[in-house]
Structure 1
Amino acid sequence: MDEAILKNGVNLLDTAEQYPIPSGAGGPAREGDTELVIGKWMRARNVPRRDVVIATKITGGRNVTPRNIKKDCEDSLKRLGTDYIDVYQLHWPQRYSPQANWGQSLKYNIENDNSPYWRGGGGPTSFEDLCLAMEGLIQEGKIRGWGLCNDNAYGLTACTRTAKALGVTPPCSIQGDFSLIDRKSEENGVAEAASPFNENVGFMSYNALAGGMLTGKYIDKPAALDEKSRESAMSALQNPRGRMDTRGWGGTLYRYRTEAAQSAIREYEKIAVANGMSLTELSLRWCKQRSLITTTLVGHSNMKQLKESIKFFQNKDPLSEQVMWDIDVVHMKNRTPIFSSNRVGKDWLGEGEIGEPIP
Structure 2
Amino acid sequence: MQYRKIGNSQKIGQSGLDVSVITFGAWAAGGWMWGGTERSDAVKAIKESYEAGVTSIDTAPIYGQGLSEEIVGEAIKGIPRDKVQILTKFGMRWDLAKGDFAMHSKKNDGQAIDIYKYAGKESIVKECEDSLRRLGTDYIDLYQIHWPDKTTPIAETMEAVAQLIQQGKVRYAGVCNYNADQMREAAESIHLASNQVPYSMVKRGIEAETVPYCIEHGKAILAYSPLERGLLTGKMKPGHPFSADDHRAKLHFFKDENLKRVNAFLEKIKPLADDKGATLGQLVLRWTVEQPGITIALAGARDARQALQNAAAMDITLTPEEIIFINGHLNPLELVS
Give TM-score scaled by structure 1 length.
0.69
| Secondary structure in 2 matching 1:282 | helix
More strand, by proportion = 2
Q: Corresponding residue for 1:4?
A: 49
For residues 125-136 of structure 1, the aligned pairs below 5 Å read 125-136=152-163
- From the superposition, tell whether residues 285 and 257 of structure 1 become closer, same or farther in structure 2 (CA, over 3 Å): farther
**Residue 136 of structure 2 corresponds to residue 94 of structure 1:** no
Question: Secondary structure, in 3 states, of the residue corresponding to 2:132?
Answer: helix
Give the one of 152, 172, 192 matched to 1:145: 172
Q: 1:156 to 1:222 in 2, by over 3 A?
A: farther
**Cα deviation, residue 199, structure 1:** 2.2
The answer to whether the Cα contact below 8 Å between 1:151 and 1:174 also exists between their aligned partners in 2 is: yes
Query: Counterpart in 2 of 1:344?
Result: none
Residue of structure 1 equivalent to 2:20? none
Aligned residues: 266
For residues 297 and 120 of structure 2, what CA distance do their matches in structure 1 show? Answer: 29
Structure 1 portions without partners, runs of 5+:
21-30, 96-123, 164-168, 226-236, 238-245, 342-359
SS at 2:173's partner residue? strand
On the 8 A contact 1:86/1:145 being kept in 2, the answer is yes
Which residue of the other structure, out of 237, 240, 250, is the alignment partner of 2:248? 250
Mapped contact 2:282–2:310 kept (Cα < 8 A): yes
Q: CA deviation at 1:182?
A: 1.3
The structure, 1 or 2, with the larger RCO (C-alpha pairs under 8 Å, 6+ apart) is 2
C-alpha distance in structure 2 between counterparts of 1:41 and 1:159, whole Å: 33
Task: Return the TM-score normalized by structure 2.
Answer: 0.73
User: As a proportion of its length, which structure holds more helix?
Assistant: 1
Equivalences for 1:328-347 in 2 at 5 Å? Answer: 328-334=327-333, 337=335, 340-341=336-337
Aligned ranges 1:1-359 → 2 under 5 Å: 1-5=46-50, 7-20=51-64, 31-43=65-77, 46-60=78-92, 61=100, 62-95=117-150, 124-160=151-187, 162-163=188-189, 169-186=190-207, 188-195=208-215, 198-219=216-237, 221-224=238-241, 237=243, 247-257=245-255, 259-260=257-258, 262-274=260-272, 276=274, 277-314=278-315, 316-317=316-317, 319-334=318-333, 337=335, 340-341=336-337
Of structures 1 and 2, the larger Rg is shown by 1
Contact 2:147 2:176 in 1 (8 A): yes
In 2, Cα distance between the equivalents of 1:190 and 1:271?
28
Let me know the Cα RMSD of the aligned residues. Answer: 2.0
Q: What's the % identity of the aligned pairs? A: 30
How far the C-alpha of 1:272 sits from its partner, in A, is 2.2
How many Å separate the matches in 2 of 1:34 and 1:12? Answer: 14
**Deviation of the 1:70 alpha carbon:** 0.9
CA distance in 2, matches of 1:129, 1:78: 24
The aligned amino acid for 1:191 is V
> Equivalents in 2 of 1:320, 1:268: separation in Å?
18
